[in-house]
Amino acid sequence: MKRYWLALCLCGLMGAQAACAAQRVVSLGGSVTEIIYELGQGGRLVADDESSVYPEAATRLPRVGYYRTVPLEGVVAMRPDLVLASRNAGPPKTLERLRGLGVELVSVSDSPSIDSLYERIGQISGQLGVGQMGDALIQRIRGEVASAQALPATQRRALVPINRSGPFLGAGGGTAADAVLALAGLKNALAEQKGYKQVSAEGLVTLAPDMIIVSSASVKASGGMDKILAQAGVASTPAAREGRVVALDDLLILGVGPRVGQAIRSLKEAAR
């Protein structure tokens, strides 16, 4: 009984009555889902999308498909009170039709930068009626990032290759990996390149990175770190010779998420 009154008061205080009523939330985009969980609101999610791979609980929810090609009926069938969609979700026509059918759909910022991360947290927490928790989270992340950035930085030329199936793709400018490297005071050897492109063995040698960061999924896909080190292109780089080829969890290096502070810290350590 007391809890009921407390909740009512809180709702009144926040003035976000609609948001409070949003008990059935659908999230479209991995970066959106992980923040919802980080804010402790994962219990309100009824469905997410294929790219929502963190945390593990998110993978157990019904999936409506890939966030860039969302099926209309699938989302409506979830009877959502609120759909939180990454700005990159689509197709735009489907999102329009969703709105047209009376579904409350909110697009949140989703660019590979730390400012976008803060904006995203703010937008999501606001929509879910937990603005205070959102602010707290932002403060916490700011603190982590600040202290991580305060650590001594060693300027290294770094390269982030990912291996899905076959040849390595290198992360160029404009990617989340590029943003994380910059935050850690590292120089992206592929800064001129836009997006993810194939990088050949010769290319690796020419680029001569002092540091190579591989995502853990790529390590697995290549069959272990020794296999990666043994590759012709990798073996001839300064990074390999000086022992600076490290693995980092996918979500830490391939996205700017709530754990970005941790990512920066790990990178700086490895750079020393």
Partner 1 sequence: MNTMVGTRKFAPRPVLVTLAIALILAGLAASSSGAVSIPWSNLPRLLWGQAAPGDAMLQNILVDIRLPRVLFSVVAGAALAASGVTMQALFRNPLAEPGLVGISSGAAAGAVLAIVMTMGGFFVVASMAFAGSLLATYLAYVVGSRYRGVAGLLLAGIAINTIASSVIGVLTYLADDAQLRDLTFWILGSLAGADWSTLAWIGPWTLLLLAYLLVQWRVLNALLLGEREAAHLGFDLAAVRRRLIAVTALIVGPMVAVTGGIGFVGLVVPHVVRMVLGAHHRYLLPASMVAGALLLTLADLASRLVVSPAELPIGLVTSLVGGPFFFWLLMRGRTAAR
Decide if residue 12 touches partner 1 (CB under 8 A).
no
SS3 label, residue 27: strand
Cα–Cα distance measured from residue 46 to residue 27, given in angstroms and rounded to the nearest whole number: 8
Pairing of strands 45-47, 25-28: parallel
Per DSSP, the three-state class of 84 is strand
Where in 232-271 is the site for partner 1 (CB under 8 A)? Answer: none
Q: Among 19, 22, 35, 47, which residue sits at the site for partner 1 (rule: CB under 8 A)?
A: 47
Contact between 76 and partner 1 per CB under 8 A:
yes
CA distances from 90 to 67, 79, 93, 254, 256 (A): 6, 19, 7, 21, 21
Q: Is 101 in the site for partner 1 (CB under 8 A)?
A: yes
Whole-number Å distance between alpha carbons of 50 and 107: 18
* Cα(124)–Cα(189) distance, integer angstroms: 34
Determine, following the binding rule CB under 8 A, whether residue 73 of this chain makes contact with partner 1.
yes
Q: Which of 14, 57, 88, 106 binds partner 1 (CB under 8 A)?
A: 88
Write the binding mask 180 to 209 for partner 1: x where contact by CB under 8 A, - elsewhere.
Answer: --------------xxxx------------
* 28 binds partner 1, rule: CB under 8 A: no
Q: Does 113 bind partner 1 (CB under 8 A)?
A: no
Residue nearer to partner 1 on the CB measure, 94 or 231: 94
Half-sphere exposure of 41 (CA within 13 A, CB side): 30
Residue 78 touches partner 1, criterion: CB under 8 A: yes
Q: Which is nearer to partner 1, 67 or 210 (CB)?
A: 67
